[in-house]
Structure 1
């Protein structure tokens, strides 16, 4: 599903079931899971299987996908990518850096955020737009906002090396013409960083109980 939000230069692999086969991880990856519970191990293993399938679609050999200082996936030279996992869905997307500068994907269960969370993640301007400009009904806009901010953060960090707080991106949503469950969003970035993009554009989709978002910044 999330592949529908990505351009042709980006390769994606996704699954709704966990990969339990032994040997799915490299030893370096296994070493990161010494204290992990079973649920975390399954998420970690399956999303890396997805990552290697996506890289294979780019013609790349299987390699370990380790974690950086902020928990971000570390991709091989010449590759940019993003991973996501939530209850019942795992996905990874990759591209060559010759084609794509950065990207971020996120999947969330499509339901309302827990009470109080919207105040933590949303600017007053965003809360006002959610209440004023977007139709009630099929979309849990608060959850979609959370997912879109996750995609923005995942795309932001690799090009800046700087953290981005929830209140440092101001997002606006729009439904696609003739559609109620998919559309686009714009993120105005409020943290000034030299040479960093000041705006990200992304796409969103709600389907089969999931809220899916993606940000892709082409090279050039």
Structure 2
């Protein structure tokens, strides 16, 4: 499912259940030695997905430890992103010379808890969601917005090493696509001001998944989603 949102340079793996026989590297096991069962399952299957994706990229197996802010510490010249939610885990990786940054997120396709939307969105975005809801009333646009904002942060941080709050990006949602207009100045990508990301999302199997991938070959030339086959984005 997640691969439909990503260019060919990106290797991915996903799981809808937790495989019972996954064996972590001892160094990885040490990271969750005192974790509760839910966290252990998320971590274990997430690392399993990451190792699967790395293997498909031809990267030799090695422990994936924690880097800055708890994100996975990827092998040299590799970038990646991991996500997990109930009944879904996924990881994506790419070679740094081919892809500049990656971000993915998965959420249940259900309304956000009461009060959360006002915290994670701008007034203009809430107006935008209300308009979208008149066309597709069965789509949980608030959850899609939240997922896309999480993806924006995951793509932003490896480039800038700076915090990006929910208020620092204004999103416009299209049919399976989104544009994040960045409100935080000073960041650059490939020597150019970083003012926006484009990405893709889909709803399927009771889930929302979203992704951003910025190939090095296309930065500044065309949106990151151009050239991808059209998918069934709402179910």
The yes-or-no answer on 1:200 pairing with 2:182 is no
What secondary structure is seen at the aligned counterpart in 1 of 2:8? Answer: coil
1-side partners of 2:168 and 2:216: how far apart?
24
Within 5 Å, give how 1:103-142 maps onto structure 2: 103-134=102-133, 135-142=135-142
Which stretches of structure 1, 4 residues or more, deviate above 6 A after TM superposition? none
For the Cα contact (< 8 Å) 1:54–1:92, is it kept in 2?
yes
Q: Could you tell me which runs of 5 or more consecutive residues in structure 2 were left unpaired when the two chains were aligned.
A: 218-235
Distance 1:145 1:169 in 2: 11
Unaligned regions of 5+ residues in structure 1, if any?
Answer: 176-182
How far residue 133 of structure 1 moved from its aligned partner, in angstroms, is 4.3
Take 1:148 and 1:73, find their aligned partners in 2: how far apart are those partners?
Answer: 20
Quote how far apart the aligned CAs of 1:64 are. 1.4
Superposition deviation, residue 68 in structure 1:
1.8
What is the distance in 2 between the residues matched to 1:77 and 1:199?
27
Q: CA offset at residue 72 of structure 1?
A: 1.3
* Contact 1:100-1:219 within 8 A present in 2 as well: yes
Matched position secondary structure for 1:25: coil
Superposed, which structure 2 residues align to 1:28-39 within 5 Å?
A: 28-39=27-38
2:210 corresponds to: 213
Report Cα offsets for 1:130-168 as digits up to 9, x if no partner.
112452323100000010011111111001111110111
The equivalences for 1:14-29 within 5 A come to: 14-21=14-21, 24-29=23-28
- Give the alignment's Cα RMSD to 1 decimal: 1.2
Q: TM-score, normalised by structure 2?
A: 0.87
